[in-house]
């Protein structure tokens, strides 16, 4: 089992990005080894994106919650700002903001800027903010359920290789860069080229990059900081100072690597944006961007719609026949693993481990695909051996390694439950896969089936008397066809005697039981309504 797992995890990922653009929204489907793993929707009318930076105004202090409400121009609700999200450098941020607004700060660079002392880690909101105060904030989370947006004052501006953090001189390197020599090299490089009083977080994508590439990224981020400085000058809150990249650009920036095989787009403008972004990170790979101009919807053409239908809903079935039941409450999400009826072999322990391993991979995919955040409880099938419990825990961590959202995984508890916490940045993706019943139109009731033949005969008489077509054909469900032909003195024979003509009957398996249609000599449908 461990050998199989290692082989799967070492298999190189082949990524594809399918982009569906229409008048209302842009949908992005991220595919890994032919499987849909992430689905992103960006409404073209929604101008609030995680990472956007605003000049807001404090509208209300909430000492009981140690938080404040801030007006950032979001039409529905004021945004929420908790004391723990203010960041230690709040005093410096406030001084910079006021200086930029008033014009007393001559430059956006922080070389001569005085960095103030940190605020208390466990202080009170009314000690550092006042009602009506202007404050520079960044969107931390989109509105979720009845809650408005959540903000922070620890401003970060993300680039391809580094993330800029003002009012500090700290250089941090991503934990995913595992080589000590490479970590030290990156620290030395960043220390030699960074502007004073600007800190940086070095991203995993910077591994192995030359100083010129890092310097170019830093320059671009400092230019964005300058844009914020200029937007603040003589401005009145609320106002947007800097917009995060749209979903398309940010996905390419954050996910791009050599494993991308193709990017397919159905909109020329979006295609140009994608090519422009890829030129920045891999100019020799722009040829993988293809324009789709087929007649079928792009998601139908590449099988995305089918994967969405099979992946969402209360249950998710896997290839072996095992399935997951996923249910969500206000407090947490619960996943129940079921073996189904296709268990093979007599070794119960190995059967349970095999189903659990398959389920762990699917759960990791489902968490990314549905963007489930908060507390997740997983009820795996019981395994007794400790080594199997450890294997399952280690496997879950490996399957979750591709997930960019911050998460923590705990080993199986005494009750056989695994607990996961996953960062919740935006509302979970919920797609209803249920379709309205074509027979009852969603009412749950149909006309009495015993009256079906009476309805057919009544419509048949009406057509013969009013239109009298030379040839008449009825299309019905196969079961109805069989009933009409049953016995020597069948209903068709009775109609032949009554109307003096043969009524042709053909079957259509796509019809539901109660559906029937009449067609004339030219095979055109005779509409009765």
Q: How many residues does the chain have?
A: 529
Please give the pLDDT value at position 435. Answer: 66
Range of the structural domain that residue 484 is part of: 449-526
The answer to whether residues 472 and 504 belong to one domain is yes
Report the CATH number at residue 171: 2.40.50.140
Which of 404, 422, 440 delimits the end of a domain?
A: 422
- Domain end residue (candidates: 243, 269, 285): 243
CATH code of the domain in which 323 resides: 3.40.630
Residue 113 lies in a domain: yes
- Of residues 300, 370, 305, 308, the one with CA closest to residue 335: 370
CA 422/CA 374 separation, integer angstroms = 5
Asked whether residue 95 is assigned to any structural domain, the reply reads yes
- Do residues 331 and 352 share a domain? yes
Residue 223 and residue 83 share a domain: yes
Region 153-168 average pLDDT: 92
**pLDDT value, residue 6:** 37
pLDDT surpassing 80 at residue 209: yes
Q: Do 112 and 153 belong together in one domain?
A: yes
265 in a domain, yes or no?
Answer: yes
pLDDT(76) > 90: no
What are the DSSP calls for 168-185, one per residue? Answer: ---EEE-TT---HHHHHH
Instruction: Indicate if the pLDDT at residue 75 is higher than 90.
Output: no
pLDDT at position 279, please? 83
Q: How do residues 312-333 score in pLDDT, each as one tens digit? A: 888 888 888 888 999 988 889 9
- Cα angle at 115 between 112 and 119, to 5 degrees? 170
For the segment 16-35, the average pLDDT, to the nearest whole number, is 87
Looking at the structure, do residues 73 and 215 belong to the same domain, yes or no? yes
| Backbone angles phi and psi of 59, in degrees to 5 | -100, -25
Split at pLDDT 50, 70, 90, the class of 10 is very low
* The predicted structure's pLDDT at residue 398: 92
In-domain check, residue 131: yes
Residues 258-272 have pLDDT tens digits of 778 889 999 898 888
pTM across the whole model = 0.64
Residue 251 has pLDDT above 80, yes or no: no
Give the Å distances, CA to CA, from 66 to 82, 88, 173, 467: 6, 15, 32, 79
Residue-wise pLDDT for 108-123, tens only, equals 999 889 999 999 998 9
Lowest mean pLDDT among 154-163, 216-225, 426-435: 426-435
Q: In the Cβ-directed half-sphere of 170, how many Cα atoms lie within 13 Å?
A: 9
Spatial distance between the Cα atoms of 83 and 87, rounded to a whole number of angstroms: 8
Give residue-wise pLDDT tens across range 441-479: 667 777 777 788 888 888 888 888 888 788 889 999 988
Q: Does residue 250 form part of some domain?
A: no
- Looking at residue 434, its pLDDT comes to 63
Cα–chain center distance at 430: 9
**When comparing pLDDT for 186 and 252, which is higher?**
186
Return the CATH number at 510.
3.30.2320
CA–CA dist 100, 237 (Å, integer): 13
DSSP-assigned letters across all residues of 86-113:
S-TTHHHHHHHHHHHHHT----S--TTP
Q: Are residues 350 and 300 part of one domain?
A: no
Q: Could you write out the DSSP letters of every residue in 328-346?
A: E-SS-EEEEEE-TT---SS
> Mean pLDDT for the chain?
86
pLDDT above 70: percentage of residues in the chain: 92
CA distances from 526 to 328, 365, 481 (A): 48, 49, 19
Section 293-305 average pLDDT: 88
pLDDT of residue 464: 85
Q: Is residue 99 part of a domain?
A: yes
For residues 32 and 158, membership in a common domain is answered with: no
pLDDT per position as a tens digit, 49-62: 788 899 999 999 99
pLDDT for residue 9: 44
Pair 283, 330 in one domain:
no
**255 belongs to a structural domain:** no
**Looking at residues 10-26, what average pLDDT do you find?**
78
Q: What is the mean pLDDT of residues 56-84?
A: 90
Residues 467 and 414 in one domain: no
Instruction: Specify which residues 135 forms β-bridges with.
Output: 56
Q: Are residues 102 and 143 in the same domain?
A: yes
Question: Above 50 in pLDDT, residue 3?
Answer: no
pLDDT at 7: 38
Number of compact structural domains in the chain: 4
Per-residue pLDDT band at 284 (split at 50, 70, 90)? confident
Asked if the peptide bond before residue 159 counts as cis, ω within 30 degrees of 0, the response is no
Q: What is the CATH number of the domain that holds 292?
A: 3.30.420
Q: How many CB atoms sit inside 10 A of residue 493's CB?
A: 14
Q: Is the pLDDT score of 433 beyond 70?
A: no
Question: Per-residue confidence at 187, pLDDT binned at 50, 70, 90?
Answer: very high
Residue 81 located in a structural domain: yes
Q: Which two tokens stand for residue 193?
A: 């080229």
Give the pLDDT score at 8: 41
Consecutive H or E run containing 289? strand 289-291
Average pLDDT rounded to a whole number, residues 190-208? 91
pLDDT for 148 equals 81
Residue 340 and residue 394 in one domain: yes
Asked if residue 352 and residue 295 are part of one domain, the reply reads no
Quote the pLDDT of residue 4: 37
């Amino acid at each position: 089992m461990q050998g199989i797992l290692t082989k799967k995890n070492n298999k190189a990922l082949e990524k594809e990005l399918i982009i569906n653009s229409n008048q209302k929204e842009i949908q992005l489907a991220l595919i890994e080894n032919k499987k849909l793993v992430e689905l992103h929707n960006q409404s073209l009318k929604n101008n609030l994106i995680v990472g956007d930076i605003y000049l807001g105004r404090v509208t209300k202090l909430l000492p009981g919650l140690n938080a404040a409400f801030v007006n950032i121009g979001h039409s529905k609700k004021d945004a929420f700002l908790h004391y723990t999200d203010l960041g230690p450098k709040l005093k410096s941020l406030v001084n910079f903001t006021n200086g930029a607004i008033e014009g007393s700060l001559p430059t956006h660079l922080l070389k001569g800027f005085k960095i103030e002392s940190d605020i208390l880690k466990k202080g009170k909101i009314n000690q550092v903010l006042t009602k009506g105060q202007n404050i520079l904030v960044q969107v931390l989370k989109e509105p979720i359920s009845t809650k408005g947006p959540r903000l922070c004052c620890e401003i970060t501006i993300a680039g391809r290789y580094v993330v800029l953090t003002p009012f500090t001189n700290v250089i941090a390197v991503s934990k995913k860069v595992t080589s000590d020599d490479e970590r030290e090299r990156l620290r030395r490089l960043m220390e030699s080229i960074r502007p004073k009083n600007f800190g940086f977080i070095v991203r995993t994508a910077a591994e192995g990059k030359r100083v010129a590439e890092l310097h170019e990224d830093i320059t671009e981020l400092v230019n964005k900081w300058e844009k914020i400085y200029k937007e603040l000058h003589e401005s009145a809150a609320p106002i947007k100072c800097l917009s995060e990249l749209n979903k398309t650009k940010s996905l390419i920036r954050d996910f791009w690597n050599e494993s991308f095989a193709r990017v397919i787009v159905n909109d020329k403008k979006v295609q140009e944006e994608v090519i422009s972004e890829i030129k920045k990170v891999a100019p020799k790979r722009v040829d993988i961007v293809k324009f789709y101009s087929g007649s079928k919807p792009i998601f139908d053409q590449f099988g995305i719609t089918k994967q969405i239908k099979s992946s969402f809903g209360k249950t998710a079935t896997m290839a072996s026949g095992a399935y997951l039941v996923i249910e969500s409450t206000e407090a947490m999400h619960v996943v129940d693993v079921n073996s189904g009826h296709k268990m093979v072999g007599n070794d119960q322990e190995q059967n349970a481990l095999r189903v659990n391993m398959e389920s762990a991979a699917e759960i990791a995919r489902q968490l990314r695909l549905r963007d489930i955040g908060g507390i997740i409880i997983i009820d795996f099938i019981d395994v007794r051996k400790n080594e199997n419990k450890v294997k399952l825990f280690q496997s879950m961590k490996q399957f979750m390694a591709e997930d960019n959202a911050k998460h923590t995984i705990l080993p199986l508890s005494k009750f056989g439950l695994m607990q996961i916490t996953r960062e919740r940045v935006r509302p979970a993706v919920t797609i209803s896969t249920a379709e309205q019943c074509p027979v009852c139109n969603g009412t749950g009731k149909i006309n009495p089936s015993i009256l079906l033949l009476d309805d057919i005969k009544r419509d048949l008489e009406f057509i013969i008397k009013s239109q009298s077509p030379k040839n008449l054909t009825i299309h019905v469900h196969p079961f109805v066809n069989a009933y009409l032909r049953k016995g020597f003195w069948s209903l068709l024979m009775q109609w032949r005697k009554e109307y003096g003509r043969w009524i042709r009957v053909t079957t259509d398996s796509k019809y539901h039981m109660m559906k029937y249609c009449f067609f004339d000599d030219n095979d055109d449908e005779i509409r009765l309504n």
